[in-house]
Amino acid sequence: MFWCKLVNKIHNDTLSIYNLLRLAHPSWTQHNKCKRRHWQ
């Protein structure tokens, strides 16, 4: 149970950082679309 929460927290933090980077560097979105599709 704890592990799940920890993973979710890390995942949410990663998404937050990703969104900040996306706002800072719009070209990053194009670069990361492939990665996100690959992860799923």
Annotated domain spans of the chain: 1-37
Q: Kindly tell me if the per-residue pLDDT of 40 is higher than 50.
A: no
Give pLDDT, residue 30: 61
CA 24 from chain centre, in angstroms, equals 14
- Spatial neighbors of 38 by CB under 8 A, at least 6 apart, are none
The 10s digit of each residue's pLDDT in 4-38 is 898 889 889 998 988 888 787 766 556 556 555 55
Contact 22, 29 (CB under 8 A): yes
User: Helix 2-24 to helix 27-39 angle, to the nearest 10 degrees?
Assistant: 150
Contact 28, 21 (CB under 8 A): yes
Q: Is pTM, for the whole model, over 0.75? A: no
Give pLDDT, residue 13: 92
Give pLDDT, residue 32: 57
Give pLDDT, residue 29: 56
